[in-house]
Amino acid sequence: MRHDAGLALPFVTTVNHLFAADHTALKLRSGLACARLSGPADHRRRRCSLSPRAARTRAPSFRRHASMDLGQPSDTKTEDSLGKDKAEKGLQKIRRALVSVSDKASLREFAQFLVGHNVEIISTGGTAEKLRGYDVPVIDVSEYTSFPEILDGRVKTLVPKIHGGILGVRGNASHEEAMKLHSIEYIDLVVVNLYPFEETVRNDGSYEACIENIDIGGPTLIRAAAKNHASVTVVTDVHQYSDVMADMNDHDGCTTLSLRKRLAAVAFSLCASYDSSIAAWFMEGLGKPFPDRITISGRLKQRLRYGENPHQPAAFYMDMRGTICPGVATAEQVQGKELSYNNILDTDAAFRLVSEFTEPACAIIKHSNPCGCATGVSSEDAYLRALACDPISAFGGIVALNRKIDKAVAEQITKAFTEVVIAPDASAEALEVLSEKKATRVLLTGAMPDPRAQLQSFRSVMGGFLVQALDTKMVTTEELKIVTKRTPTENEMRDLLFAWKVCKHVKSNAIVYARDGATVGIGAGQMSRVDASRIAAWKAQEASRQAEEDTSRTAGSVVASDAFFPFVDGLVAAADAGATAVIQPGGSKRDAEVIAAADERGIAMVFTGIRHFLH
């Protein structure tokens, strides 16, 4: 979905994303070295430690600079130049910080850095205990406010002395008078993480556990600090520690207005996303998939080189609204070039298709349409049968498997140019074989998605967007209605159900010819159904000709149509191609004519009563 850059949308992006090019320079200057740990994409954290440079300069030199008043001359800056810097950059000295975090990664280094700059630290519960364990001087919130934590910790920072200190406007005479009257002092830095609500939901937490993990104080502190970013620095993620440290190093313990604005933007985005996830969870529990108001919550996974075309900017986000299904968004990329926008779309289409099958299956996708799909006794067998459907179109395509990649199928895949291979897992031998094609992207998801999962899809339109449930409808033999004189044979029925599954994943108008559990001809995305039928038959003839086969592969095949035949010409085209059985929704006012044409040609036909349009 397209979003205008100026809209305040609840997409969670780390400060790394918003800072763009200057962020790298800030990190290098800060001396905080970060490394990404392995793990599921949506749960990865960065563990940070001070670099040798920062460790050497942390305490004594920081204290020397921190003790300087911005209005006093120094060895390097005059009083006038400092005043000019402060005015131009909106510098704000960090003297007091409130720190309350659930993610305690890099807390020790950051807290010690603050102490080195003579920053007074106020903290809560577990965070305060952890800081004392690091020998970091800390004041408990309850001691600072003279108000105890109550209601099992539900109320600890929701007091005027905290929020007054955050929201008070520097230089506002009435604010300063009120703060003096109530003994409220300014808080310059707020460092807060939120309770892990989304993680609790993903881990199937109980209703009570989910409710307890709805953070109240955290978002309130974050929003207050972000609102008053003219004077207050708000930090919501460990990734941001390095940027604050760099700014304070470069500006004698101050932060710049530009940094505070960026951090505030991230903070509001985080709160919006957090609330969006909570609202979505409530609505799902109430059975209301389409509430009066809806928000989309996502976390930046990848900034893409471009979108469908080089002139279109694009990015890839993780869906944070609920349970995350295995797929391209959660997969681990173990080799290959960076995924492109089109790679992601096609890979998703391929993996969705193979998830329909319980037996070993392979789908080869090009431009979001299957150019071959098959089941087999093994992944290698399924791949070769899928490839045979349209080997020319498969060049540069996406290969999806629903089984662990073994050496045999890997060797077959590397014989052709393949953009992406996606599967739940891969053997070491298979990965070694695939590594010979260094540019091929290999994605491992760890599991297969549930094809019946009740998920939603979003499509943008001018001035709005459409939301619908994904097409997860399946049919069984018992649900089919035989409408012709001839009943499909057992083999035909198996192929009809196979073709129907594939047809659901082909752009409309869609026609799929199949035989023995493999597609033999696919007609996709045509404006008329008869053209789709003719194209699919022509594709099959071409594949047969290249394989030097005597007859077209559509001979003795079955055919699936994603919607009803509005005229008999589509069915006649299928019969002329050699199809012996048809599966379609039915429901046309000309059904009787189509059925009569099928009977006249000895074709068996079944109605599903279900349409599978795909646009």
Q: Distance between the two ends of the chain, CA-based, in angstroms?
A: 15
Q: Which amino acid is at 505?
A: H
Residues 358 and 498 sit within 8 Å (Cβ to Cβ): no
One of 104, 163, 227, 404 is an active-site residue; which one? Answer: 227
In the sheet that holds 120-123, the strands lie side by side as 139-140, 120-123, 96-100, 189-192, 233-235
Structure letter (DSSP) for residue 325: P
- Written as one string, the DSSP assignment of 499-540 is HHHHHTTSPSS-EEEEETTEEEEEE-S-SSHHHHHHHHHHHH
Cα separation, 21 vs 439, in Å, equals 27
DSSP 8-class letter at 168: P
The helix/strand/coil state of 221 is helix
d(CA 567, CA 508): 16
Q: Is 84 a catalytic residue?
A: no
SS in 3 state form for 368-408? CEEEEEEECCCHHHHHHHHHHHCCCCCCCEEEEECCCECHH
Distance CA 123, CA 126 (A): 9
Rounded CA-CA distance 50/39 in Å is 23
Q: Please list the residues that pair with 103 across neighbouring strands.
A: none
Report whether 485 contacts 599 (CB < 8 A).
Answer: yes
Q: How many helices and strands (H and E) does the chain possess?
A: 22, 26
Nearest one of 93, 34, 14 to 242, comparing CA atoms: 34
| H-run or E-run covering 35 | strand 32-36
Answer for the pair 58, 108: CB distance below 8 angstroms, yes or no.
no
Alpha-carbon 300 to chain mean position: 7
Distances (CA, A) of 229 to 14, 168, 174, 292, 313: 17, 11, 19, 32, 29
Beta strand pairing call for 139-140 and 189-192: unpaired
261 is catalytic: no
Task: Return the residue matching tokens 């230089």.
Answer: 171
Q: How far from 221 is each of 9, 168, 194, 214, CA to CA, in Å?
A: 20, 13, 10, 14
Nearest 5°: phi and psi at 349? -60, -40
Cα 407 from Cα 433, distance rounded (Å): 7
Distance CA 295, CA 8 (A): 11
Active-site option among 77, 367, 404, 407: 367
Q: Which residues are identified as catalytic?
A: 227, 367
